[in-house]
Amino acid sequence: MDLGSILTNPKYHDLFSIIKGFRNGMVYGARIRFPHALVMQFLFGSGTLEQKIQRIIEATVQHSKNLAFFVTIYKTLMVLQRRIKGREDSADSFIAGLIGGYMVFGEDNNINQQPHAFPIFAAVVWGIVMWQFRYERDVLQGSLQASMQFLYNDSEVFSNLGNWLWRNR
């Protein structure tokens, strides 16, 4: 059996979509955080050039890890709930977002400084946002919808190694 037929085998779809979700989280985290950290460090940061570059890299890596782990936890919990019950219920996305939000955004690091002060609040907010994305998408701001599309829905689409690992579609 070649890799292409394994990737397209419905038996493995959930696993490969979780892995692609992790990949999309890493890619999107870097794509968003790097330019932001770059501008913020050179406009407002202090220290040597080396220190600024180090802080840019640290922020980019941390943001990428946060998104990758959140997407992985969320997608894994969605799959587990669906497999246990044999169906998806409306509350599943809230529960997966709540647990993922608490696990990822409850951690104290430079990217999570504001949410960490209120980890339960951050968890509830992420539970609500994930439910809204799944069932009331139009209430979310357009760029958030596009980001979440890339992270959660586009990770479900792949037909070969190229669009599973290298490019998104």
**Cα(first)–Cα(last) distance of the chain, in Å?**
23
Averaged pLDDT for residues 23-42? 96
C-alpha–C-alpha distance, residues 120 and 114, integer Å: 12
Q: Report the chain's mean pLDDT, rounded to a whole number.
A: 93
At 115 the pLDDT is 57
SS3 readout for the chain: CCHHHHHCCHHHHHHHHHHHHHHHHHHHHHHHHHHHHHHHHHHHCCCCHHHHHHHHHHHHHHHHHHHHHHHHHHHHHHHHHHHHHCCCCHHHHHHHHHHHHHHHHCCCCCCCHHHHCCHHHHHHHHHHHHHHHHHCHHHCCHHHHHHHHHHHHHHHCCCCHHHHHHCCC
Averaged pLDDT for residues 51-68? 96
C-alpha–C-alpha distance, residues 73 and 40, integer Å: 30
At 2 the pLDDT is 84
At 153 the pLDDT is 96
C-alpha–C-alpha distance, residues 16 and 7, integer Å: 7
**Which residue did the predictor score with more confidence, 4 or 147?**
147
pTM of the model: 0.92
| Portion of the chain with pLDDT greater than 70, in percent | 97
At 10 the pLDDT is 95
Distances 139 to 75, 93, 130, 134 between C-alpha atoms, Å = 22, 16, 12, 11
> What does the pLDDT look like over 61-84, one tens digit per residue?
999 999 999 999 999 999 999 999
> What does the pLDDT look like over 96-147, one tens digit per residue?
999 999 999 877 777 776 656 678 888 999 999 999 999 999 999 999 999 9
pLDDT surpasses 80 at 39: yes
pLDDT surpasses 80 at 13: yes
